[in-house]
Chain A
Amino acid sequence: MNRFLKDKEHLFRMAALFAAGVVLFLIVRAVLVPKGFGVYGHYRAGALADNRVRAPRFAGRAACIECHTDEGDRLKGGKHAGVGCEACHGALAKHAADPSSLKPTKPDSKTLCQTCHLMNVAKPAKFPQIDPKSHMDGGPCLTCHDQHAPDKEPKK
């Protein structure tokens, strides 16, 4: 037995060096690996929350209808019933949070209507499209159509 341990000094030195290496590795690992890494997978669990913090800029249809019930009712059953309010009126989360902070500007109907309804061969054939040159001489859309219920009688 003594024969094996007579040169034990260098074994202890090796063991101490190895232990120091392990401790150094653990310290470096603790510093470099961010918190929550590996909880769900090979990524930082907190990144999920990070992706969620941003405030929406589109309020969503439900928020609009909460106050503008009349327009919501007008849309019902019409051809534009499926069109979200902010599809035409733009992102208005700010207005929904505090109506006085931002007054929405009325969109220019002619350019807006044509965004969707301008003739284009790539559009699905059954989608209503017009060529402004031949359709009422390119006159204002809202004289004949109600933007919120295009297939109903125009609102007086």
Chain B
Amino acid sequence: MNSDRRDFVLTAGKLLLLTAPAAAYLEAVESGKAEEPAYKTFEHYWGMIVDIEKCIGCGNCVRACKVENDVPLEPYFFRTWVERYHVEGAGEHPDVDSPDGGYNGFPEKYAAGDGAKSFFVPKLCNQCAHSPCTQVCPVGATFESPDGAVLVDKTYCLGCRYCVQACPYGCRFIDPRTNTVDKCNLCYHRITKGLTTACCESCPTGARQLVDLKDARDPVHEFLRTHKVHVLKPQMATGSKVFYNALDGSVR
């Protein structure tokens, strides 16, 4: 009897160890594509740092994103855009503008020394860990990937627009060519190949940094310890993974 139980535990233990590779193999077989050995989905957890104090509003990120991701050029389709805030005083409603999403930069609008503070805020999908947009999708066409990017399954999206309304940050749009939803996917085709995102690649001041929260050597951990960072709309409890340094309270 005792040896039976011992055998059972040993066998069960071996089977348990095999579960993860078996699941990975199953996924590779079922998706019809072999897993690229270089990229291990479960060893990454992506996010981004946006440093307001470094953003100069040049619009490089907006232009680069449109090129890289084939975003329609009309000035109301954006995966990322830049806003300019002008805050006259504490508690005052801020004056916000974003001409063409910052695609052509920001023509000077305010006089120097007018007693108000002015700054740029780059916006993109916040890659929420508990994102409202994925929760409302009726068909499971948008989801939080195991490596922390919120992705869209274009072949499965109905174009029902629920997620567009659910996103508290306004980060989604319906691509008029396919009638399916599109959004920043953190350049998933790039970051899985070891490159950084197109916006980070072309940001001249390093105001945007792609970060891997699971990589112990990523400078993000040092940055988050030594800087006063904030996420957008923390009251929504979205688990945003885009951390803003020096974010003003007026930013929504």
Residues of A in contact with B (beta carbons under 8 Å apart): 34-37, 39-58, 60-61, 80, 82-84, 86-88, 90-91, 115-116, 118-124, 127
Whether A56 contacts B57 in the complex (CB less than 8 A), given A46-B33, A86-B202, A115-B105, comes out as no
B203 adjacent to chain A (CB < 8 Å): yes
Quick check: A120 and B30 within 8 Å, CB to CB?
no
Q: Which of B106, B153, B187, B203 contacts A47 (CB 8 A)?
A: B153
A101 to B39, CA, bound (A): 29
Across the interface, which residues of B come within 8 angstroms of A34, CB to CB? 156
Quick check: B188 and A51 within 8 Å, CB to CB?
yes
B111 adjacent to chain A (CB < 8 Å): yes
Q: Which of A39, A61, A84 contacts B27 (CB 8 A)?
A: A39
Chain A residue, CB-CB nearest to B85: A122
Quick check: A58 and B27 within 8 Å, CB to CB?
no
Chain B residue, CB-CB nearest to A126: B53
Quick check: B188 and A60 within 8 Å, CB to CB?
no
Quick check: B198 and A58 within 8 Å, CB to CB?
yes
Shortest CB-to-CB span from A146 to chain B, Å, is: 16
Q: Which of B144-191 contact A (CB under 8 A)?
A: 144-146, 149, 151-156, 185, 187-190
Quick check: B143 and A35 within 8 Å, CB to CB?
no
Across the interface, which residues of A come within 8 angstroms of B30, CB to CB? 35-36, 39, 45-46
5 cross-chain CB contacts under 8 A: A46-B30, A50-B153, A58-B201, A87-B60, A122-B119
Quick check: B202 and A53 within 8 Å, CB to CB?
no
Quick check: A122 and B195 within 8 Å, CB to CB?
no
B41 adjacent to chain A (CB < 8 Å): yes
Q: Which of B33, B68, B112, B188 contacts A121 (CB 8 A)?
A: B112
Across the interface, which residues of B come within 8 angstroms of A116, CB to CB? 56, 58, 204-205
Quick check: B185 and A83 within 8 Å, CB to CB?
no
Quick check: B202 and A42 within 8 Å, CB to CB?
no
Q: Mark B131-153, 1 if CB is under 8 A from A, else 0.
A: 00000000011111110010111
Shortest CB-to-CB span from A151 to chain B, Å, is: 15
Shortest CB-to-CB span from A123 to chain B, Å, is: 5
Chain A residue, CB-CB nearest to B196: A60
Chain B residue, CB-CB nearest to A123: B56
Q: Among the interface residues A49, A88, A118, A121, which one has the most CB atoms of the partner chain B within 10 A?
A: A121
Shortest CB-to-CB span from B205 to chain A, Å, is: 7
Quick check: B202 and A47 within 8 Å, CB to CB?
no
Chain B residue, CB-CB nearest to A48: B145
Q: Which of B86, B149, B190 contacts A122 (CB 8 A)?
A: B86
